[in-house]
Structure 1
């Protein structure tokens, strides 16, 4: 993302802004979804709908993410922070 594009985006989510170059929408949406999956911030209905609309045009895009780091170790869930994958277009995100 260029500095000019980043300034235009500000803190807007995919409901209000997508990169001007349509060819990068799938990758941008995958990165956005990856961040949501890693850190678990809430997504409102409009944001989820905007991501779903992009995802329908991206059947081969894969979302890869790591779960957020834990602040303590629980022996029963050790290894739960392994990487995850899902299909952006397959509705698994």
Structure 2
């Protein structure tokens, strides 16, 4: 794991960002140990319809500086030895916490939405306007965006933790915490299977408070 990403995971410290960009929250740092309690506060509901869904209803990536966007900001934060062309990330070193794979070419790295856009649509975001959906899709203040291997991001798709978990089991506690933190903040629902999977993941975490 890169030192920058390890620091973000352990300390909730922001990574390297350019001076002309806004501060970027860490890719994790979650709910500060009360994920189990927050999970009990989430509304359980059946998954909604995909009718009307399109990724274009969640506008991203937003500009974050001189020719930079949110993707560049996350790549800078989650990587090491970052190389820039102007404000665009063209090289560096990234380690995907989902599967432990390492990369030096940013084109091999995807920015994952912890709670996928389609999952958010099915759990309440269908009732938002596009402006709010854009805020969700570009949320740098919660652990919603993380640089991972393209293969793991695409294997995950729009699945929830009852359907997909990172191959790297050592990241399960943080992944569950991140998921709950995002859904709690945005007041999205969970399915019963999703809640059961999150509960199981958090039970093995010594730092997760019990409700």
Q: TM-score, normalised by structure 1?
A: 0.65
Distance 2:210 2:164 in 1: 21
Task: Name 1:29's counterpart in structure 2.
Answer: 176
Counterpart of 1:17? 164
Residue deviations 1:49-83 (CA, integer Å, cap 9, x gap): 000000001121xxxxxxxxxxxxxxxxxxxxxxx
Q: Is the 8 A contact 1:9 1:17 kept in 2?
A: yes
Q: 1:33, 1:91 → 2: CA distance?
A: 14
Alignment of 1:91 onto 2:206: no
- Report the aligned-residue RMSD: 1.0
Structure number with greater Rg is: 2
1:11-65 residue CA offsets vs partner (Å, 9 max, x unmatched):
00000000001011111111100111110111011100000000001121xxxxx
Unaligned 5+ runs, structure 2: 1-147
Report the counterpart of residue 56 of structure 1 in structure 2.
Answer: 203
CA distance in 2, matches of 1:91, 1:7: 33
Aligned residues: 64
Give the structure-2-normalised TM-score.
0.29
